[in-house]
Amino acid sequence: MTAPVLLIPTAPHADNIAIINIDNPPVNALSHAVRQGVVEAITEAEQNKNIEAIVIYCQGKTFIAGADIKEFGKTPKEPHLPDVLQRINQCNKPIIAALFGSVLGGGFELALACHYRVAVRGTKLGLPEVTLGLIPGAGGTQLLPRIAGVKLALTMITSGKPQKVEQLEDYGIIDFLISANNSNKDHLLTETILFTKQLLEKNQTSKIISQQPMALNDEKKQAAQVLCQQFRDKSAKKSRGQQAPQSAINSIENSFTLPLNEAMEKEREYFVACRGSAQSRAMRHAFFAEKTAAKLIHSGEIKSTPTEIESVAVIGAGTMGGGIAMCFANAGINVTLLEMSQNNLTKGINAIAKRYQQAEKRGIINNQQVNQCMALITGTCDYQDLDQVDLVVEAAFETMAVKQQIFSQLDKMCKPEAILASNTSYLDIDEIAKATRRPEKIVGMHFFSPANIMKLLEVVATKYTDTQTLTTAMTLGKKMGKISVAVKVCYGFVGNRMYACYGREANMLLLEGATPQQIDNAMVQWGMAMGPLAVNDMSGIDIGYQARKENTARPDDPCYFAAADILVEHGRLGQKTNVGFYQYDEQTNKRSPDDAAIKLIRTHAAKLEIKQRSDISDEEIQQRLIFALINEGAYILEENIASRASDIDAIWLNGYGFPRYLGGPMCYADEIGLEKVVATIKKFQRQAGNTYWQVAPLLEKLLAQDKKLTQ
Ligand code: T1G
């Protein structure tokens, strides 16, 4: 393994300029070896009298993209990053950072510790630590306010969102912005060396940000404190329940209320506290869960390279079909939208145009991009027009007969190598595959509504799907910016199968006497984005009702989703009928409790002879819904419907609003301990007296072996 850091004593055409060359693929993360190598290279350069300046340059696709997240959780080894940045600061020769790619976290902090920064256009600068439950831990909360002001520091650090150097030109962070774009890296080295030569010729004194005073007069200090409080309030809503943004704001406030060395010590203290927190463990798990999910587990089969997908078709121009068509257009792929009637097709395309206009109004997309995307979408009512597409996604009516008819038609009309995918949420894709002569090319691509917003894509392998097809669908998902997770066929695949258990318990609690608002408030309090019953009202209670009617394997239990069913049978479908579990104002769509719904449920519970309880606590609600998820997830793992516990977490984080700072249901189970999970499930089994609470054998087995679900 070659050393990731090398000192090149003389740069091309510049004998007095050295290069610290970093080569630590894939993102030049600041591993221990890199940190040590940089310190050693600086010491060596200082001792070489011919060297008058030093350029820090990286190989690969990006400048340093941050600390090595894989090292967190292990015993930190010196030199720690703050020591490295201190070393840069103290160097008696100017150090210039040559920036490109994604300069994130510790990479950006290292650049700020350098004396100068040169970048190519398109370079992204960011401090994304809060997305990992951390705060910048090597001076970022002190250096960025000094060079760019408190407001930009608060914005970038609490959001974690990177910004392009072009957007930051007025802040003086970059000393020389090269006209070449991100891809032209060699140009970057040449220009940086030229820039450094000019520095030396001008004998320019080094500019050290940490030595720049942060002296704000009383008026400005007060204004900055007001700003910090505004960001505290905003983060408390936007990043509800998360500690890191609040710690980051406190550290930024220290940048103008404490002397630098005290503020740096505080920053390190807050960083170490965050790094050791359960929230950061969960968010780091989430980060790697999403990366790992993209990797197919090949049971002995050879890996396949994905087929290049240049043109696709979507069958059905309804809400889902339209959203899916937008996903492809947004990724720059030609998409043909097929509907059975011109009227429905026109309606569908108009609806897409409206969604793009709304996105443009919100500043998410500009008009040129809207036009580019719309130009990629064409409509047809004729299957003949699909004869050259590389892949089709069917998003038609959710009945097996309709889908088998469509796939049979597609099989006849599309070229033999075309992949045919179904967006079905529940139906057995093995059965759909049988309606074709190409079962190996049939796959599920299950998008989540709204398809153009939700990041999750469940890629469902039938028992016939070949590796090439699966790999292509997974890669296509990543190209659309989705978190693709490979799963197998069962009723509801992974997400919806687990969601059915979550909804089952919510319904049982309603029949036992809890109100919709009590259940929803308990789950929002626990950390979910929305309560299950409000979600059900939003998507339409009749959708699940219809699916349960179609589901021949539904439990033979009159109580199963009985609360939802009784509402549907009384015409209460949710928001679309202004009444469901709640009532909705016809003008404002504002949700409010509805005694009529509660009365209907109570009456039905009496018919089912369900004992009413007045002692249902929020904790019981939270445990019954969340432990139902965990238990079903364990069954899913045992049946190999999902390959990894972390895949299940990636699904719940990106498709169902599971709080990221809890890492997903399987990560959460490990964090609270399987002993508590199993004991509580057994308690519910005794209390409910039904078959729903059989502890998954995998949980018992892992508990007996003192192992975790996510290790
Ligand atoms: N550490 C370790 N591995 C990393 C990594 C990191 N920081 N970033 C990426 N990887 C791995 C990733 O797991 C994958 O591995 C491979 O690199 C390619 O990633 C002290 C404390 C840089 C925009 O949060 O945002 O600095 O799956 O598929 O799409 O204050 O990676 O191939 O085995 O995402 O081109 C702050 C996180 C750390 C950056 C590139 N930095 N990374 O995207 O590639 S905390 C981050 C990203 C910190 C300081 C604090 C992206 C990317 P594998 P990829 P990509």
Is pLDDT of 649 > 80? yes
DSSP state, residue 59: -
3-state SS string over 669-696? Answer: HHHHCHHHHHHHHHHHHHHHCCHHHCCC
Do 524 and 477 lie in a common domain? no
Tell me: do 30 and 154 sit in the same domain: yes
What's the average model confidence in pLDDT over 356-365?
Answer: 93
Of 251, 274, 297, the residue that ends a domain is 274
Ligand 1 centroid distance, CA of 213 (Å):
33
The pLDDT of residue 48: 96
Percentage of the chain with pLDDT > 90? Answer: 88
**How much is the pLDDT for 688?**
87
Residue 300 confidence (pLDDT) above 60: no
Instruction: Evaluate whether 322 touches 328 at the Cβ level (below 8 Å).
Output: no
CA torsion sign, 345 to 656 to 280 to 242?
Answer: positive
| 129 has catalytic annotation | yes
**What six digits make up the tokens of 319?**
């809400």
CA-nearest residue for atom 28, ligand 1, is 291
And the tokens for 400?
């097996």
Collapsing DSSP to helix, strand or coil, 314 comes out as strand
Q: Which atom of ligand 1 is nearest to the CA of 131?
A: 24
Domain assignment of residue 584, given as a range:
496-640+673-704
Q: Tell me: the pLDDT tens digits for 667-706? A: 999 999 999 999 999 999 998 877 899 999 999 999 999 9
Q: Is residue 656 part of a domain?
A: no
Q: Within this chain, do residues 516 and 487 fall inside the same structural domain, yes or no?
A: no
258 and 328, same domain (yes or no)? no
Mean pLDDT across the chain: 95
Residue 48's closest CA among 96, 85, 97, 92?
A: 92
Q: What is the distance in A from the centroid of ligand 1 to the CA of 364?
A: 25
Which residue is listed with tokens 């109004």? 361
Domain boundary among 478, 494, 510: 494
Contact at 8 Å (CB) between 199 and 116?
A: yes
| 45-75 tens-digit pLDDT | 999 999 999 999 999 999 999 999 999 989 9
Residue at 298 is within a domain: no
**In the chain, how many domains are there?**
3
| CATH code for the domain of 471 | 3.40.50.720
377 compared with 539, residue with greater pLDDT: 377
Residue 21 in this model has a pLDDT that exceeds 70: yes
Per-residue pLDDT for 231 more than 70?
Answer: yes
- Tell me how far the alpha carbon of residue 60 lies from the centroid of ligand 1, in angstroms: 13
- What's 232's domain CATH number? 3.90.226.10
Residue 489 shares a structural domain with residue 500: no
Span 617-642, mean pLDDT? 98
Q: Are residues 115 and 218 in the same domain?
A: yes
Q: What CATH code is carried by the domain that includes residue 588? A: 1.10.1040.50
Residues 523 and 431 in one domain: no
**Is residue 299 domain-resident?**
no
Q: Are residues 486 and 509 in the same domain?
A: no
How confident is the model at residue 247, as a pLDDT? 98
> Which ligand 1 atom sits closest to the C-alpha of 136?
30
Model confidence at 301: pLDDT above 60:
no
**In this structure, is residue 529 part of a structural domain?**
yes
Average pLDDT over residues 416-420: 97
- Run of H or E residues at 363: none
In a shared domain, residues 630 and 683: yes
Give the E-state strand segments of 557-634 in sequence order. Answer: 582-584, 591-593
**What gap in Å lies between CA 196 and CA 172, rounded to an integer?**
17
Do 508 and 383 fall into the same domain? Answer: no
Among candidate residues 274, 293, 327, the one where a domain is terminated: 274
Q: Hey, which of 22, 24, 27 would you mutate to test ligand 1's pocket, going by the most ligand atoms within 8 Å of its Cβ?
A: 27
Closest ligand 1 atom to Cα of 69: 1
Whole-number Å distance between alpha carbons of 47 and 442: 65
The alpha carbon dihedral of 653, 658, 663, 667 has a sign of negative
What was the pLDDT predicted at 296? 85
Compute the distance from residue 656 Cα to the ligand 1 centre, in Å.
24
- Residue closest via CA to ligand 1's atom 41 equals 66
* Beta strand 17-22 pairing with 53-58: parallel
- DSSP letters for 391-436: EEEE---S-HHHHHHHHHHHHHHS-TT-EEEE--SSS-HHHHHTTS
348 and 228 in one domain?
A: no
Task: Please tell me the distance between residue 101's alpha carbon and the centre of ligand 1 in angstroms.
Answer: 12
**Cα gap 88→677, rounded to integer Å:** 49
Query: Cβ–Cβ contacts within 10 Å for residue 281, how many?
Result: 20
Q: Which of 109, 253, 267, 290 is catalytic?
A: 109
Contact 434, 413 (CB under 8 A): no
Residue 294 domain-assigned? no
Ligand 1: residues within 6 Å at CB?
26-27, 29, 62, 65-70, 81, 102, 104-106, 109, 128-129, 132, 134, 136-138, 140, 291
Lowest model confidence (mean pLDDT) among 140-154, 312-326, 540-554, 572-586 = 540-554
Do the Cβ atoms of 366 and 517 come closer than 8 Å? no
Centre of ligand 1 to C-alpha 65, Å, is 6
Task: Name the pLDDT band for 184 (thresholds 50, 70, 90).
Answer: low
Identify the residue whose C-alpha is closest to ligand 1 atom 24.
128
Per-residue confidence (pLDDT) for residue 299, from 0 to 100: 59
User: DSSP string of 61-119?
Assistant: TSS--SB-GGGTTSPP-SSPHHHHHHHHHH-SS-EEEEE-SEEETHHHHHHHHSSEEEE
SS3 content of the chain, % helix, strand, coil (to 5): 55, 15, 35
What's the Cα-to-Cα distance from 705 to each of 154, 272, 449, 602, 634, rounded to whole Å?
A: 46, 31, 40, 44, 15
Atom of ligand 1 nearest to the CA of 287: 13
Does residue 444 contact residue 424 with C-beta atoms inside 8 Å? yes
Is 297 a domain residue? no
How confident is the model at residue 690, as a pLDDT? 75
How close is the Cα of 59 to the center of ligand 1, in Å?
15
Question: pLDDT (tens digit, 9 = 90+) per residue, 451-488?
Answer: 999 999 999 999 999 999 999 999 999 999 999 999 99
Question: Which of 292-306, 342-356, 601-615 has the weakest average pLDDT?
Answer: 292-306
Quickly state the pLDDT bin for 183 (edges 50, 70, 90): low
- Ligand 1 atom closest to residue 294's alpha carbon, by position in its atom list: 27
Minimum mean pLDDT range among 158-167, 195-204, 238-247: 195-204
Burial (CB count within 10 angstroms: exposed 0-12, middle 13-18, buried 19+), residue 551: middle
> What is the SS3 assignment for 163-217?
EEHHHHHHHCCCCEEEEEECCCHHHHHHHHHHHHHHHHHHCCCCCCHHHCCCCCC
**Inter-residue contact 543 to 552 (CB < 8 Å):** no
In a domain? residue 512: yes
1 pLDDT band, cuts 50/70/90, is low
How many CB atoms sit inside 10 A of residue 226's CB?
Answer: 10
Within a domain: residue 658?
A: no
- Residue 526 confidence (pLDDT) above 80: yes
- 504 φ, ψ (degrees, to nearest 5): -60, -45
Residue 302 pLDDT grade (very low, low, confident, very high; cuts 50, 70, 90): low
Query: Which mutation among 69, 141, 478 tests ligand 1's pocket best, with the greatest number of atoms within 8 A of CB?
Result: 69
Distance (Å, whole) CA 314 – CA 248: 45
Q: Is residue 508 located within the same domain as residue 635?
A: yes
Question: What is residue 17's predicted lDDT score, i.e. its pLDDT?
Answer: 97
